[in-house]
Structure 1
Amino acid sequence: MSQLLPDVVASSPLTSLIGVGLAGILVWHLIPRASAYTRLVVQIIFFGVMTAILLNGKIAPNSFEGYGTDDARSLNVILAKSLWWLHLSWALIGFVRIYLVLEGRPREARLLQDIVVGLVYLCVALSVLAFVFGVPIGTLVATSGVVAIVLGLALQNTLGDVFSGIALTIGRPYSLGDWIALGDGIEGRVIASTWRSTHILTGANNIAILPNSLLAKLALTNVSQPDETHLVTMTFRVAPTKMPSIVEDVMCTVLAGCNTILREPPPLVALKGVDATALEIELQFRVTSSSVRIRARNEVIDLFYRHCKSAGLLLAMPPAVTAVVAALPSEEAAKPPEVTPLDLIRAIPIFTSLTPQEQESLADAAVTREFQKGDVIVQEGQTLPSLMMIRAGIVVMREEGRELKRLSPGDYFGETGLLAGMEEAFTLEALTRVTVYDIGQPAFEPLFAARPALAEEIAAHLSRHTGHLPEHALPHERERRTLRMLKAMRMIFGR
């Protein structure tokens, strides 16, 4: 190309320069905006060719030669120089955008890009006015300064938002996608950042639009940094009927059985204080993100109630309630409620259709069994011919060695093997010392003999809540699964 260039330039350097410049504009627009690298390379090539034509044609783009506009050559010079300055601005802008991409800047850095691009275009425009048209820049800048003061006073609030947005972008207190909490109570995820405002998607699924000037003045907590994990603190009160060390062990079991909290860093139990009315406990744990807080709180409250009932702990009265000292529960006089097999049977969904007499007959057949920590209750692929309801402790559900879920007091397992002869899909292992109530198949035979329709009700429930049937499964698929379950139950119980 360097050998052909002198011949082309020698014929008509201005015409060649204009042709290359217009061709560069056409090619630049044909390249997709997503191909930033290709655009930059092509722009550098065209800019280099135009610069070489200028140097070979002894045309100085940074000096005004005093020509008029009544000459055809003068018009060509003006157009050629203007195209060169335009391609220079595009090359600089390409370098800026590539630099921001290579630096891994977040999407809100687009504001910084706009500022740099605007400055480049402003400098190029002033250069064109000075070196192409001979406009006195000093006078123009002085005049524009007066206009800028007037506009600044008229657009004071808008400019405040703009400069606050620039400060927030450069300071980077948050990025797009971060969850932030503001001093005025608003919290949510940042979904957009513009020149004037920042858009926050709140937990109520609303978009809060905050002016950048207001956001810059508020106290801001970035919950997503250094990572998305979030600390949750919950306070509970139990009656002082057992030693604090025993209560602490129960609370550790509560946290160990929770499926929605993080294991690392490990959750903590803090005993805050004790008096004649209550032992105050604080549970501290982390969740994967702020959006999981409500689900984690609900699970911890549920497990707190279950384990307190299982361990015989009584809930304390609220601090605002005035209690008679003589009536306060003590370690010697307290009579905690006992969790019986009947209580657990009444809480199991598949037995809600049983009559009280039928539930009592199952409870009478329950046998208490103990498992030590680390004992495997049932292996994946085995059939468990009895229903086991957890009275105390935690059971881990594993699949191919990977932990899936933890079961706590009140949970149950083995119903598919007991009622339908199905193999267990998971391995169940005792995480702590576990006490279960075990009900075998003989206890169910008189129930199905006296009421055959009961088998259909239980089969329908099992088909909906066990296995891997998709939620969007068609009604006939669920019906086929129910029939298969019912057939297996009739084979087992001879009905």
Structure 2
Amino acid sequence: MSPADFTYYWWIGVGALAAGLAVFFIRKSAAGPEVRQSLRFPSWCVAAAAALALADWLLSDFAPPSLFRHASSASLALALGRLFVLAFFDAGIANRLGLAAERIFRDILQGVVYAAVTLLALSWAGVQVTSLLVTSALFTAIIGLALQDTLGNIVAGLTLQVQQPFEVGDWIQLDDGRRAGEVMEINWRAVKIFTLDCEQVTIPNGLLAKSQIVTYTKPTAVARQTVFVQAPYGVPPERARAAILEALRDTPEVLTDPPPVVATFDFLENATVRYAIRYFISNFARRELIASLVRDRAWYALDRAMIETPMPLSGVEFRRPRSPEAAARQAAAEAEKLLSAVPLLACLSESERMHAARGMLRRRYASGETIVRQGEPGEDLFILEDGAVRIEVDGLEVGDMRAPDCFGEMALMTGEPRSATIRAIGEVTARTIHRDVFCDLLRANPGLSEAFSRALAERLEARRAGLEAARAAAAPSLRMQEKSSQLLAQIKRLFALN
């Protein structure tokens, strides 16, 4: 065997072995259907190189000189070049080195590898590569002029990758203010974003390079949002702002740090004041749903504070005003009917119920809103007129309550802090009675105190039984969690894990 033959077969053998090891490494490090599909091309190239090497050994006397050797060497070089790119990006080598693994870099590196293999194959075939590159300058200029937009997008894409104003997963918006979406892909020609309308928008890199880009999720995922509401001129701004801020305390997905603020934004011509609710979120993809929830909470807060939301005037309506006395009598009759259905207040006479009804206030709450909080002081009794609420003690759900039941009696009668947290299940309408009303009733009829004490004792015993049952139901899961934590600590100590 001549030295040239030995060098050739050594190259084929070592190259095939290296390709096999690379395939094994990639399949082990990046298992998945896309990776397996990407391995088909280099696998076929290795198989073709082996077949061509075998043909060179058997049929070299019947073929042009070096035909099989050049073809097999080029096939093996293509396979190794493709496997190098797959191992570098898909097998995680780039991530371990802290390098970007965007698609544009993959495509450029793959193109460089293929170009190098092509030039190497032409050199093996006897083509003067240097002369070819020099004489093709005119052809290159023509191609450059024809593809100047494409080349501009490629250069802009490289610039975006170097500067990295955004990454895949960020939310961006161009300066036109119309297109905002999550970045799904950054390639050599364009950036693809996915909007909240479930539309995929492809933006050329050249356009991005010329536009002002707003990135909502950098440098952190925290983004400020603004919602506007209006209130009448006659309502003091401090009162309106306090009512809205109170409603935002437990709004889901609204961050408490930084805290939300309510600012007096503008004075409008229709005798209203516009307020700006500024709050922060960390899940920008749900910004519209969170904004809707903030508007709902603001509406219910203003309604409970008896602040009427101004309506736009588009016409003139003539109607006979209703007598305030008649409206008050009807409201008192409805409240007295509700009080007669509450077991806790069964000891009240009809006149006492009418006295309590005249001091009642109606309040409405949004779904999931906290009505009272455990540990806070309370001076109101809440009577459910419509809807249901959930009872939580120390974060544990102990039951629910439906109209026409009541809650808040212990804090009202004993002065103790609230013993439970009450949250609305769906929309809830409740009536409240202040402690001053009960003070008048007890002073007028001291015997009511004994009746109230018996009723409170019965309700307290029922609540205690419900709490014990809820804690007993939750005990197995709590014990399982505690046991799991203990075993985890033992495993970490045994194997010296941090």
TM-score scaled by structure 1?
0.54
TM-superposed CA distance for 1:285, in Å, is 0.4
TM-superposed CA distance for 1:267, in Å, is 0.4
Contact (CA 8 Å) 2:153, 2:190: kept in 1 or not?
A: yes
Q: What is the CA deviation profile of residues 402-422 of structure 1, one whole-angstrom value per residue up to 9, with x for unaligned ones?
A: 8x9xxxxxxxx6218959xxx
Counterpart residue number, 2:133? 141
Counterpart residue number, 1:13? 6
What SS is found at the alignment partner of 1:414? strand
**1:77–1:345 distance in 2 versus 1, CA, 3 Å:** farther
Query: In 2, distance between residues paired with 1:27 and 1:345?
Result: 86
Between the aligned residues of both structures, percent identity stands at 20
Counterpart residue number, 2:188? 195
Contact (CA 8 Å) 1:377, 1:428: kept in 2 or not?
A: no
Counterpart residue number, 2:221? 228
Query: In 2, distance between residues paired with 1:227 and 1:147?
Result: 48
Query: In 1, distance between residues paired with 2:30 and 2:248?
Result: 52
TM-superposed CA distance for 1:259, in Å, is 2.8
**1:168 aligns with one of 152, 157, 160:** 160
Alignment pair present for 1:301 and 2:288? no
Alignment pair present for 1:268 and 2:281? no
Alignment pair present for 1:281 and 2:268? no
**1:389–1:416 distance in 2 versus 1, CA, 3 Å:** closer
**1:415 aligns with one of 402, 416, 426:** 402
Query: In 2, distance between residues paired with 1:133 and 1:429?
Result: 83
Query: In 1, distance between residues paired with 2:30 and 2:194?
Result: 33
- Equivalent AA in structure 1 for residue 94 of structure 2: L
Query: In 1, distance between residues paired with 2:334 and 2:100?
Result: 55
Equivalent positions of 1:292-441 (< 5 A) are: 292-316=286-310, 374-375=374-375, 388=384, 398=392, 400-401=394-395, 414-415=401-402, 428-429=420-421, 437=432
Query: In 1, distance between residues paired with 2:228 and 2:257?
Result: 21
TM-superposed CA distance for 1:235, in Å, is 2.5
**1:28–1:363 distance in 2 versus 1, CA, 3 Å:** farther
Query: In 2, distance between residues paired with 1:212 and 1:363?
Result: 73
How many residues end up aligned between the 2 structures? 345
Contact (CA 8 Å) 2:254, 2:281: kept in 1 or not?
A: yes
Equivalent positions of 1:459-478 (< 5 A) are: none
Question: RMSD value over aligned CA atoms?
Answer: 5.3
Query: In 2, distance between residues paired with 1:117 and 1:296?
Result: 44
Query: Structure 1 regions of 5+ residues with no counterpart?
Result: 1-7, 40-68, 324-336, 347-361, 379-385, 405-412, 420-426, 439-466, 468-495
Query: In 1, distance between residues paired with 2:336 and 2:103?
Result: 61
Contact (CA 8 Å) 2:373, 2:420: kept in 1 or not?
A: no
Query: In 2, distance between residues paired with 1:187 and 1:14?
Result: 58
Contact (CA 8 Å) 1:14, 1:76: kept in 2 or not?
A: no
TM-superposed CA distance for 1:236, in Å, is 2.5
TM-superposed CA distance for 1:266, in Å, is 0.7
What SS is found at the alignment partner of 1:111? helix
Query: In 2, distance between residues paired with 1:248 and 1:338?
Result: 32
**2:170 aligns with one of 172, 178, 193:** 178
Query: In 2, distance between residues paired with 1:26 and 1:81?
Result: 13
Q: What is the CA deviation profile of residues 368-427 of structure 1, one whole-angstrom value per residue up to 9, with x for unaligned ones?
A: 69998754799xxxxxxx95469xxxx99657538x9xxxxxxxx6218959xxxxxxx8
Query: Structure 2 regions of 5+ residues with no counterpart?
Result: 36-60, 317-327, 338-352, 364-370, 407-418, 424-429, 434-469, 471-498
What SS is found at the alignment partner of 1:237? strand
**1:338–1:321 distance in 2 versus 1, CA, 3 Å:** farther
Query: In 2, distance between residues paired with 1:82 and 1:33?
Result: 22
TM-superposed CA distance for 1:20, in Å, is 0.9
Query: In 1, distance between residues paired with 2:103 and 2:163?
Result: 14
Contact (CA 8 Å) 2:25, 2:87: kept in 1 or not?
A: no
Contact (CA 8 Å) 1:241, 1:313: kept in 2 or not?
A: no
**1:342–1:21 distance in 2 versus 1, CA, 3 Å:** farther
Q: What is the CA deviation profile of residues 226-263 of structure 1, one whole-angstrom value per residue up to 9, with x for unaligned ones?
A: 23333111222322334333333222213224334222
